[in-house]
Structure 1
Amino acid sequence: MRRIAVLWIGFAIATAVLGAAAAFETRASRLQAIKTLGIVSAIGEEMSLTRAGLTGLGNAAQSLPISAWGLDELIVQQATKLLGGRFRVQPVTYRRPAFAAVRDSAVTPVNLLRSDPFKELVRSDVAPQGLDAYIVITRARSKLGNGRMVEGVGLAEYRTLLADYGLVHALYEVRVIDGKSFDVIEKRAAAPLDNTGTLRLAGPSGPVDETFGGPASGERLRAAIVDLITRSLPITLGEMHLIEGQ
């Protein structure tokens, strides 16, 4: 009986490994078949200001319009440059607010079995249609400290009884959506660039010394966010095997 159980477990493990290998091969072959693609970015229309911590702060997250910063245009330009060595990247038009309005991330484990909300948007809101694939870059979410959620581009302040911590963040996720079936071929949230700080997020972020009332605003804050994006995007696309040599 024990021998049968061992054989059954071994068979189950082998089946799982073969299934994973087949899925990887299918994903790799689908990526290999892509020749033309368009890029959609919708993370940079607004910036969040979040306070959290142990001092009784109950402030709800605030947001400020930052469309004038041109972050999405910068992301499209950088992604086009990075991907242009392998793919023929074509300009596309889309309703950015429609993509930005999707707040529930389908990358998180709880949503893995749900239909990805961006599939239909690519089908209905992106032109031209008919490209081999579309890269969709949108906001991601992460927990801050005691559980307050932050997302996208923003500045967070976390207070304890002894110290204040400031964090600038640019949280985003990347999807590759098939241009014919509109299936999600690959998706990945950008990983942290440095996890050595006291306050950490599950995505690109970095410490700032100033609080919300300090000088970490305007062009200086924009420069910090641009730095997070430009350093993390090549890594993320490389991990997705979308850049030659990766």
Structure 2
Amino acid sequence: MRRHVVLWIALAVTSVVLSAAAAFETRASRLQAIKTVGIVSAIGEEMSLTQAGLTALGNTGQSASISAWGLDEMIVQQATRLLSPRFRVQAVSYRRAAFAAIRDSAVAPVNLLRSDPFKELVRSDVTPQGLDAYIVITRARSKLGNGRNVEGVGLAEYRTLLADYGLIHALYEVRVIDGKSFDVIEKRAAAPLDNTGTLRLAGPSGPVDETFGGSASGERLRAAIADLITRSLPITLGDMHLTDSP
């Protein structure tokens, strides 16, 4: 009986490994077949302001418009530069607000069985149609401290009885959506750049600098957020095998 159980487990493990290998091979071949891409970015119109911790449990999140920062335009330009050596990148038109309105992250494990909400949006809202693939860059979520969600671009403060900790963050995820079938070929959330701080998020973030409080705080904050994106995007696209890894 024991031998049969061991054999069954071995066969099950082998099946899982073979299925994973086949899926990887299929994904790799589909990526290899891509020649033309369009880039959609919708993370940078709004900044969240979040407080959490022992002394801020009742506070609600706030937001502020940062559309003047032009973060999405910067992301499209950087992604175009990174992808151009391998793909022919074509400019596309889309309703940024429609993509930004989707808050649910399909990268999260709880959502893996759901239909990705961006598939139909790419089919209906992006022009021109008919490219081999569309690279869609949107907000991602992470939990802060006591479990409160933060997402996209923002400032987060976590308070304890003894100290306050502040973070800036630029949380985003990247999808490669097939331009014919609109299947999601690949998707990945940008990983942390540095996970050594006291307060950590599952994505690009950094400590709040005291210079953000000065008269030039808006420009300093914009530059710091842009730096998080500029440093993390090459890594994320490289990890997705869309570019040569940096």
What TM-score, normalized to structure 2? Answer: 0.97
Rounded Cα–Cα distance in structure 1 between residues aligned with 2:78 and 2:42: 14
The separation in 1 between residues aligned to 2:244 and 2:199, in whole angstroms, is 34
Does the CA-based 8 Å contact 2:193-2:204 persist in structure 1?
A: yes
Partner of 1:149: 149
Greater mean alpha carbon deviation, residues 112-121 or residues 1-10: 1-10
Query: Is 1:59–2:59 an aligned residue pair?
Result: yes
* Residue matched to 1:112: 112
**Normalising by the residue count of structure 1, what TM-score does the alignment of the two structures yield?**
0.97
In structure 2, the residue matched to 1:131 is 131
1:18-167 maps to which residues of 2 (within 5 A)? 18-167=18-167
Structure 2 equivalent of residue 203 of structure 1 = 203
- Please tell me whether the aligned partners of residues 157 and 211 of structure 1 are also in contact (alpha carbons under 8 angstroms): no
What SS is found at the alignment partner of 1:237?
A: helix
The runs of 4+ residues in structure 1 deviating greater than 6 Å are none
Contact 1:85 1:244 in 2 (8 A): no
- Aligned partner letter, 2:28: A
Answer whether contact 2:48 2:63 (CA < 8 A) is retained: yes
Query: Following TM superposition, by how much is the alpha carbon of 1:211 offset from its aligned partner in structure 2, in angstroms?
Result: 9.9
* Secondary structure, counterpart of 2:48 in structure 1: strand
Whether the aligned pair in 2 keeps the contact of 1:123 and 1:182 (CA below 8 Å) is yes
Output the CA distance in 1 between the equivalents of 2:56 and 2:207: 22
Work out the CA distance in 2 between the residues paired with 1:217 and 1:137: 27
| Amino acid in the other structure paired with 1:88 | R
**Equivalent residue letter for 2:129:** Q
Percent identity of the aligned residues?
A: 86
Query: Which digits, 9 at most, give the CA deviation of each residue in 1:46-77, with x for residues without a partner?
Result: 00011111114522111101111000000000
Deviation for aligned residue 1:6:
1.2
- The one-letter code sitting in structure 2 at the alignment partner of 1:95 is R
SS at match of 1:24: helix
Q: Does 1:169 align with 2:169?
A: yes
SS of alignment partner, residue 29 of structure 1: helix
Say whether the 8 Å CA contact 1:166–1:211 is kept in structure 2: no
1:40 and 1:245 map into 2 onto residues whose CA distance is 22
CA contact (8 A) 1:39 1:135 kept: yes
State the superposition RMSD in angstroms.
1.4
Question: In the comparison of the two structures, how many residue pairs are matched?
Answer: 245
Q: Within 2, Cα distance between the matches of 1:148 and 1:217? A: 25
Name the counterpart of 1:236.
Answer: 236
Cα 1:56/1:244, change in 2 over 3 Å? closer
The one-letter amino acid of 1:44's match is: G
C-alpha displacement of 1:115: 0.2
Larger displacement relative to structure 2 (59-68 or 127-136): 59-68
- Distance in 2 (CA, whole Å) between partners of 1:105 and 1:160 is 29
Match of 1:4 in 2: 4
Residue 56 to residue 47, structure 1, CA distance change in 2 (3 Å): closer
SS at 1:241's partner residue? coil
Equivalent residues in 2 for 1:183-222 (5 A)?
A: 183-210=183-210, 214-215=213-214, 217-222=217-222
C-alpha displacement of 1:208 = 1.0
SS of match in other structure, 2:207 = strand
Q: Which amino acid aligns with 2:124?
A: S
Letter in 2 for 1:207: P
Q: Distance in 2 between matches of 1:53 and 1:163?
A: 10
1:15 is matched with which residue? Answer: 15
Structure 1 stretches of 5 or more lacking a match? none
CA distance in 1, matches of 2:57, 2:15: 51
1: CA distance, partners of 2:168 / 2:124: 34
